[in-house]
Amino acid sequence: MAQQFHLNTPLLESVNMSKRAGTTVYLKMESSQPSGSFKIRGIGHLCQQLARHSKGVVCSSGGNAGMAAAYAARKLGVPATIVVPASTPQLVVQRLKDEGATVRIAGKVWDDANAEALRLAETEGLTVIPPFDHPLLWEGHASMIAEIAASLGPGVKPGAVLLSVGGGGLFCGVVQGLRDAGWKDVPIIAMETVGADCFNAAIRAGKLVTLDDITSEAKCLGAKTACKQAFDYSQCGELTIISEVVTDQQALQAVINFLDEERVLVEMACGAALAAVYGGLIGRLQTEGRLPAPLGPLVVIVCGGSGVNTEQLTALKQKHYFFKVTHTHVLAICVHSRWLYGWNLAFCSTHIKIKYTLLCQKPFWNLV
């Protein structure tokens, strides 16, 4: 029997998120997978089928698919080359190397890295591991729905499934899993961030759309074009697909809330899905008649992410929550301190340092 690389992850009830959503919320904790995300389900399955006796594998990735490919390749004893765009955090590059992969950096966005991966496959005879567009990937990802059905028990099905969409691999796997479970009537809420919203753009246009650029901080959602199968599912009519977009700040706030409440750190790509609960989207969709009220159990796919740590989270918080402080702002603080404390230099100095630090979340001497 072939070795299984992914884990059967927990399905956890969230009391805090249930309060916000107005229904029971279950979290499918794909963040606990050995590679850090759901990607190991599909990529592990594909590697079992195509790469076991390969000369080597090559995968283009913003991070998570690469981590899954590197992990599976290491378990199979096969060399792995992971091609990432320049926007990939250094911590992800290092983690890929720690898995034994050779890392190459190519281009600005994932599409550039993918072109280089395809070139390497042709010139070096490597097996391509696509990050989201392959039937074996979707077949592997579908396993999480079978696990959800087993966890919920007989006679219980979700009121809706909430997930993030990048290139569409997870989405396709969930659709396939819902069909296999006889749950075609379960709505899927597909979330993206502004600037990485190729799926939403395709649905609105009625055809596949290629974005000019990826401007969102959620780089792991950063495919310029969704896979054709994901778009076809959105147009088939037998499924209820709700596509919504949130801002980077909303996704980031969801990551912060999730860390505070559930004690788990995830990427902004995952935060896009979480923002639907934290931002009140579920209630709005019910008010608009796009989701039933009352709603059955809401299953949230916590897709995870290997490209985040507390240092990166702090940097994102500073970028999105604190405006740029200039010398004009500092002068205003100084004038205010002079008005409050006169010529008492000790009080003035302390007041200025405290106000500046609170304003921009940086030490006083780091003027920007």
Q: Are 175 and 229 in contact (CB under 8 A)?
A: no
Q: How confident is the model at residue 345 (pLDDT cuts 50, 70, 90)?
A: low
The residue ranges of DSSP E strands in the chain, in sequence order, are: 11-14, 25-29, 57-60, 80-84, 102-105, 127-128, 160-164, 188-193, 241-246, 298-302
Instruction: Indicate if the alpha-carbon torsion angle 203, 205, 206, 208 is positive or negative.
Output: negative
Residue extents of the structural domains in the chain:
11-37+136-314, 48-132, 327-360
Q: Encoding tokens for residue 72? A: 């599976």
Q: How confident is the model at residue 329 (pLDDT cuts 50, 70, 90)?
A: low
Q: What is the pLDDT of residue 349?
A: 62
Q: What is the pLDDT of residues 131-186, one digit of tens each?
A: 999 999 999 999 999 999 999 999 999 999 999 999 999 999 999 999 999 999 99
Distance (Å) of CA 333 to CA 323, 339, 342, 361, 363? 15, 10, 13, 15, 15
Nearest to 140 by CA among 111, 177, 187: 177
* Residues contacting residue 2 through CB under 8 Å, at least 6 positions apart: 48
> What percent of the chain is modeled with pLDDT above 90?
72
Average pLDDT, the chain: 89
Three-state secondary structure call for residue 314: helix
Q: Encoding tokens for residue 195? A: 């600037």
The string of DSSP letters for 83-119 reads EE-TTS-HHHHHHHHHTT-EEEE-SSSHHHHHHHHHH
Does 84 have pLDDT greater than 50? yes
Between 286 and 357, name the one with better pLDDT.
286
DSSP letter at 31 equals G
Q: How confident is the model at residue 352 (pLDDT cuts 50, 70, 90)?
A: low
Q: What is the pLDDT of residue 324?
A: 47
The mean per-residue pLDDT over the stretch 200-220 comes to 92
Q: What is the pLDDT of residue 337?
A: 57
- Rounded CA-CA distance 227/166 in Å is 9
DSSP letter at 239 equals S
- Rounded CA-CA distance 112/115 in Å is 5
CATH of domain 11-37+136-314: 3.40.50.1100
The residue ranges of DSSP E strands in 137-263, in sequence order, are: 160-164, 188-193, 241-246
b (16+ CB within 10 A) / e for 223-252? bbbbbebbbebbeeeebebbbbbbbbbbbb
Backbone angles phi, psi at 357, to 5 degrees: -60, -40
Q: Are 71 and 99 in contact (CB under 8 A)?
A: yes
CATH of domain 48-132: 3.40.50.1100
- Rounded CA-CA distance 317/328 in Å is 23
